[in-house]
Amino acid sequence: APVSPLVAETEAIVKQFEYTDEDVNRGVKEFLRQMNEGLEKDGTSLAQIPTYVTGVPNGTEKGLYMAVDLGGTNFRVCSVKLNGDGTFNITSAKVAVPKHLMVAKTAQELFAFLALQIKKFLEKHHGDHFEAHIRRRMTVSSPDGYKDEHAFRMGFTFSFPVQQMGINKGTLIRWTKGFDIPDAVGKDVCALLQDEIDRLQLPVKVAALVNDTVGTLMAHSYGAPGTHGAVLGAIFGTGTNGAYLEKLSNLKKPLVGDYDKSTGDMVINIEWGSFDNQLNVLPQTPWDTALNQQSVNPGFQMYEKLVSGMFLGEILRLAINDLMKNPRISFFRDDNSSTNDLRSTTDIAETSPIYKQWAVDSTILSVAAGDHTPELSLLRKELDDSLQIHAAAREDAQAFQAIAAAIGTRAARLSAVAIAAVVLKTGKLTDPAYEGQPIDIGVDGSLVEHYPYFRGTIQKALECVEGIGKEGADRIRIGLAEDGSGVGAALIALVAAGME
Ligand code: ADP
């Protein structure tokens, strides 16, 4: 049967999002080249930032640690009891950061608020420890609270760009995500937090500055005792990034701070969102180009703009808008020329997010991918509920689903590029110590957690990579890292405490 004009136009769009096996292989080669370049010098596409964390846990770690996470909208405080057998108990509290503090005059105002939340948490959940500490302090003359050996060691996950100078030292490069406190830029964020903790005389030492990908790597290694630990920790959420363990001998650029040299390794924060900003190998459909041009940072984070949750909804919105404007077809709109056309009931509110830049959440890609009902009732309900596209025709929902799938599949196959490159870089597939053993990868983030088939699609793409193949891909285990930001930060605080 001849295909309908709508199907033909949809296929033409879908085709542009194709990312072939050949593309994957070209991507992997370039990723490896850029990884090596980043280990040699500063100012490259992949920043390859040394984290001063020199090993991954093996699951036997024990003790009570604290972790805090300032990610954007919320500040999370938790205590983590590591049981030494790969399990843990976590107690946590979350507060929204007041808007006025995101743009406070001084850094002190924000950090005083954070310290106060830590105090409240300790009073509520660790009253005994807290009381004992206060009593002890009254008999110990040193006013220097955090040198107290009984103090909590705390990992501080701070998801803004920092220049790391040591395991608990790093200066803020710039604020992002709506924060703007110029006074803090260039200052050591760990010292800013420690000062306020000390002002409240809390028994807490900021022991480690943590990137969320490193936390994921650590948490996933701890959670799989008896293995070699994870080879990669990766985030696929609002943004995307990864961290892995590299040999110190491969790290050619100078390191400023002190670190434990005995392991011969260092965890590297790849900052892979900016892979191939020069577009040597990354695909660019007209919609990617438009998105990039309209973004706040054209030419930067080019890989992230094809892969992460913050952008997939907008790529979809742009492609769908083109289909809606296509004069050869009637898509999501009335067709007055035909009296018996069921589409004529479709109605899109003027205020629909489909007309508004950045307003389509990537969640709808997951709904589309997960809808196997014959009439696409789940997707059509979502179109109605979240995009105010009422009574969409089934054919139109099918077109929407096909385009969403093309964008999601490309994102997953591009994710496989980074994962494959890191696996190959570590050489674990051919390492005799790993023979017959799985290669563990810890992942976190709403996209990889909720998009159906995201991990499966990555797994399939890994099979086509030269040097991995079906056999290698079968050994690569991509698992969700449980509570990476809490447990991971606690583990890094533990590692750091061992270095004091
Ligand atoms: P963050 O990365 O900020 O810590 P998340 O991991 O929750 O937070 O990621 C949030 C991002 O994931 C947002 O861009 C959101 O649009 C996207 N997202 C949330 N839920 C889903 C879903 N079910 N499917 C696809 N994307 C989702």
DSSP state of 71: -
pLDDT at 133 over 70: no
Q: Which atom of ligand 1 is nearest to the CA of 313?
A: 16
pLDDT at 75 over 80: yes
pLDDT at 114 over 90: yes
Q: Which of 123-137, 356-370, 400-414, 451-465 has the lowest mean pLDDT?
A: 123-137
Q: Which of 23, 69, 188, 212 is catalytic?
A: 212
Which CATH topology does 55-210 take? Nucleotidyltransferase; domain 5 (3.30.420)
pLDDT at 335 over 60: no
| Domain map (residue ranges) of the chain | 1-51+228-492, 55-210
Query: Mean per-residue pLDDT for 307-315?
Result: 96
What's the pLDDT tens digit per position in 32-65?
A: 999 999 999 988 999 999 999 999 999 999 999 9
Query: How long, in residues, is the chain?
Result: 500
For ligand 1, whether the C-beta of 386 sits within 6 Å is no
> What are the backbone dihedrals phi and psi of residue 114, each rounded to the nearest 5 degrees, phi first?
-65, -45
Q: For residue 161, with 0-12 CB atoms within 10 Å meaning exposed, 13-18 middle and 19 or more buried, which class applies?
A: middle
Cα separations in angstroms, 155 against 4, 65, 199, 483: 58, 8, 19, 14
Query: Mean per-residue pLDDT for 7-17?
Result: 98
User: What's the pLDDT band for 439 if we cut at 50, 70, 90?
Assistant: very high
Q: Which of 21, 174, 431, 474 is catalytic?
A: 174
Which pLDDT value is given to residue 195?
96
Contact 274, 31 (CB under 8 A): no
Provide the 10 A C-beta neighbour count for residue 127: 10
For the entire predicted model, the pTM comes to 0.91
For ligand 1, whether the C-beta of 273 sits within 6 Å is no
What's the pLDDT tens digit per position in 387-437?
A: 999 999 999 999 999 999 999 999 999 999 999 999 999 999 999 999 999
pLDDT at 145 over 50: no
User: What's the pLDDT band for 238 if we cut at 50, 70, 90?
Assistant: confident
Q: Which atom of ligand 1 is nearest to the CA of 445?
A: 6
Residue scoring higher pLDDT (293 or 2): 293
Tell me, in angstroms, the distance from the centre of ligand 1 to residue 360's CA: 12
Which pLDDT value is given to residue 144?
47
What single letter denotes the amino acid at residue 52? Answer: Y
Pairing of strands 240-247, 265-269: antiparallel
Beta strands in 329-412, from DSSP E residues, in sequence order: 347-348, 389-390
Percent of the chain clearing pLDDT 70 (strictly above): 93
Beta bridge partners of 233: 243, 442
Beta bridge partners of 477: 440
Percent of the chain clearing pLDDT 90 (strictly above): 78
DSSP state of 330: -
pLDDT at 450 over 80: yes
For ligand 1, whether the C-beta of 447 sits within 6 Å is yes
For ligand 1, whether the C-beta of 408 sits within 6 Å is no
For ligand 1, whether the C-beta of 311 sits within 6 Å is no
Token representation of residue 457: 């699609």
Q: Are 1-51+228-492 and 55-210 in the same CATH fold?
A: no
pLDDT at 480 over 70: yes
Q: Is 274 a known active-site residue?
A: no
Query: Mean per-residue pLDDT for 76-104?
Result: 94
Which pLDDT value is given to residue 345?
67
Cα 258 to Cα 239: distance, rounded to the nearest angstrom:
30
Query: Mean per-residue pLDDT for 432-447?
Result: 94
pLDDT at 383 over 80: yes
Cα 26 to Cα 282: distance, rounded to the nearest angstrom:
9
Q: Which atom of ligand 1 is nearest to the CA of 446?
A: 6
Q: How many helices (H) and strands (E) does the chain have?
A: 17, 15
Which pLDDT value is given to residue 135?
57
Which residues have a Cβ under 8 Å from the Cβ of 328 and sit 6 or more positions away? 5, 9
pLDDT at 20 over 70: yes
Which CATH topology does 1-51+228-492 take? Hexokinase; domain 1 (3.40.367)
Provide the 10 A C-beta neighbour count for residue 191: 15
Helix (H, G, I), strand (E, B) or coil at 62: strand
Q: Is 159 a known active-site residue?
A: yes
Which pLDDT value is given to residue 500?
75
Q: Is 328 a known active-site residue?
A: no
pLDDT at 146 over 50: no
User: What's the pLDDT band for 274 if we cut at 50, 70, 90?
Assistant: very high
- Average pLDDT score, the chain: 91
Query: Mean per-residue pLDDT for 9-19?
Result: 98
Residue nearest (by alpha carbon) to ligand 1 atom 22: 363
Token representation of residue 383: 């179109």
